[in-house]
Copies of this chain bind each other. A is one copy, B any other.
Amino acid sequence: MLRAGTFGVMQGPSNWGRWGADDERGAANLLTDEHVLGACAVPQTGRVFNLGIQLKQGAPVAGNRISPVHLMLSDGGDYAALGRDDWGTADDYLFLASGGTSHIDALSHVWSGGKLYNGFSYKDVRSSGASRCGIEKTGGLVTRALLLDISGRPARDGGMTGPEIEAHLGDRGLEARPGDALLFHTGWMSAALSGELEGRSFPVVDTSAGDWIAEHDIALVGADNPAVEATGTRGVLPPLHDVLIRDLGVYIVEMLDLREPVLAGVDQGLLVIAPLLISRGVNSPVNPLLIS
């Protein structure tokens, strides 16, 4: 499935119109009440994993963005200076590039052929934000996640394909169901957090996996790197973004920290992602929770 150069010509599967001509939530529609109830039944241990990274200066950041800036509006120092230790309150401000830290892409994050998911115009995304497919339309996502540790895969073997994903799951007795999330641990974030990114390559998901993802009605794909796929050369839309977000309305979650659940041997769990309801937002920082 070669898409570069032919963006906007739908060559593979599509979910446009599937949930109505006005739908702005895409694969979130797969998270039916029944699916949610099923996902809530997945946890066996009750352990809660935080999949977001810490927001602070110097934290790993996706692309040419700045890391979050955290500033205090009031703090204990103010009271110390005043010699008042009877009581006090602290308050803070946050300035951040939503897409720079652990975040979920809204369906308005990318487009091709002039169209967002479901055929909305890219012109609906302006300085005032996305009047179509904003993250506030998505809201919270509750589903089952399947966690794939592919960090041992040599980068030279190319990206994971659909059949490889299926085999990986099958080996563990797992089967993807409609509405499920796939989370890929590539090792990128481990390296980023320990300052060892330079000169290294990491496994990715192949563009061709889009077909498998469509066929299995996966609702969300997450990874511990800045883009699920190979990001390609500058100035070309990552092709799997095009397939997942634009053609299928499938959500992408990036910059996750998956070390702990991988270390604990977790391969499935209840996944809860609660984007801030940023009006017309094209991303939201999130701290996804995985409950095993």
Contacts and interface: CB of A to CB of B under 8 A. Distances in A.
Nearest to A241: B89
Interface of A: 7-8, 31-37, 40-41, 43-48, 50, 52-57, 59, 64-66, 68-82, 85-99, 108-114, 121-130, 136, 139-140, 142, 236-237, 241-242, 270, 272-283, 285-289, 291
B277 A53 contact: yes
Contacts of A136: 54
Among A7, A122, A142, A279, chain B packs the most CB atoms within 10 A around the CB of: A122
Contacts of A78: 75, 77, 126-128
B48 A129 contact: no
B275 A272 contact: no
Number of copies: 4
A74 to B, nearest CB: 5
Given A46-B33, A50-B139, A88 B126 contact: no
A112 to B, nearest CB: 4
A58 to B, nearest CB: 9
A33 to B, nearest CB: 3
A287 B285 CA distance: 11
Contact of A89 (B91, B109, B121, B288): B109
A94 B93 contact: no
21 contacts: A8-B87, A33-B46, A37-B46, A40-B270, A55-B281, A56-B280, A66-B66, A70-B280, A71-B71, A74-B127, A75-B282, A77-B77, A77-B80, A86-B114, A90-B108, A90-B125, A90-B130, A91-B283, A94-B96, A94-B276, A94-B278
